[in-house]
Amino acid sequence: MDAPALRTPFETPPAEGEAVEVAEGILWLRLPLPMKLDHVNVFALDEGDGWTLIDTGFDSRRGRAIWQRLREGPLAGRPIRRVLATHHHPDHLGLAGWFQSQGAELLTTRTAWLLARMLTLDVEETPKPENVAYWRAAGMAPERIAKRLAERPFNFADVVAPLPLGYTRIAEGDRLSLGGRAWRVRIGHGHAPEHATLWCEDEPLILGGDQLLPSISPNLGVYATEPDADPVGEWIASCAAFQPHANDAQLVLPGHKLPFTGLPFRLGQLIENHHGALARLEEHLCVPRTAADCFAPLFKREIGEAEYGLALVEAVAHLNHLLRQGRARRSRRADGAWLWQSAANG
């Protein structure tokens, strides 16, 4: 982290199957991910007769094997009593159902549970027509669409264990007792609907999930399920809502990268990063462009094949926000793609 207002007391993350104690009774664990962002942070809170987990990692044979090593090692053979999923994404909730099947209680927000439950039951062997229409509207090249049509889509259920019927709901303002501490639930939006963060009332600690990350900004994507959504606006509003509660002493335990302090600075940075990207995008729209034409001003680097899908949904998200603000207009091209142009040039 090169920003002077950000600090980390932990330069080295825990090795696979090992743990680092980040506060009394709170262990930091890491699970691998098969992508460029190659890990997810998980935290285990000591309940005396067992553990509460904050997030879980993907469901995979490797992931289950690592958890077996963790249980026999740092977790000292004590049972997982509860799993709290900060949001519905597979790297955070993938093994929640597996732990439930062994007797753990699942705590999460209503939207996170409903989305996860729905997505585990929605298995596609071929892309749905709505997805194809979305790709065309975003300006995806025909040859890229043809390639996707010839492949089995990635399914949520590929890396998420079946979720039993039933969970314990958490919501904005709830006060939870976890690991011998009192925590206040504060909800964010944008990266995932109804994403839970936990703010400790006993000492300066925050469990931030993907809502509060130190050196990367989480993906803000629009999908075929809600093609006119505005996650960028929701994200900026959530960061602003957290600012009155943030101080420099708080140690943030994030879903990825390293624990850090300096949250007031980071919240301002997360807001300004998107304001800057929106300004560059608006300038880029001096002529009509599709979402697929808008990677350069948003990311300022080449986008590879592995990153293309996330880049596309984030481009649509920023365009939707400009449209909501009256800073951009759009019109349909003959092939179904939206052409976007800044309102000043339209």
4-23 pLDDT per residue, tens: 589 999 999 999 999 999 99
Q: Is the pLDDT of residue 141 over 50?
A: yes
pTM of the model: 0.95
Please name the residues in contact with 305: beta carbons below 8 A apart, sequence gap of 6 or more: none
* Of 38, 23, 75, 10, the residue nearest 202 (C-alpha): 23
- Collapsing DSSP to helix, strand or coil, 55 comes out as coil
The pLDDT of residue 3:
47
79-88 tens-digit pLDDT: 999 999 999 9
Q: How far is the C-alpha of 128 from the C-alpha of 50, rounded, in Å? A: 43
Evaluate if residue 164 carries a pLDDT over 60.
Answer: yes
Which carries the bigger pLDDT value, residue 174 or residue 1?
174
Non-local CB neighbours of 68 within 8 Å, separated by 6+ positions: none
In this structure, what DSSP letter does residue 7 have? B
Calculate the average pLDDT of the chain: 96
- Residue 37: CB atoms within 10 A of its CB come to 14
Q: What is the pLDDT of residue 46?
A: 98
Q: All domains of the chain, ordered by start, with CATH?
A: 20-342 (3.60.15.10)
CB 79 within 8 Å of CB 70: no
Task: Please give the structure tokens belonging to residue 136.
Answer: 């065309």
263-284 vs 231-242: helix crossing angle, rounded to 10? 150
Q: What angle do CA 190, 241, 111 make, to 5 degrees?
A: 40
The predicted-structure confidence for 177-207, as pLDDT tens digits, reads as follows 999 999 999 999 999 999 999 999 999 999 9
The whole-number pLDDT of residue 329 equals 98
Q: What is the pLDDT of residue 234?
A: 98
In the chain, the percentage of residues whose pLDDT exceeds 70 is 99
Query: With left for phi above 0 and alpha for psi between -120 and 50, is residue 186 left, alpha or beta?
Result: beta
Q: What are phi and psi of 156, to 5 degrees?
A: -50, -45
Region of residue 114 (phi > 0: left; psi between -120 and 50: alpha; otherwise: beta): alpha
Pairing between strand 251-254 and 205-209?
parallel
In this structure, are residues 24 and 45 in contact, taking their beta carbons and an 8 Å threshold?
A: no
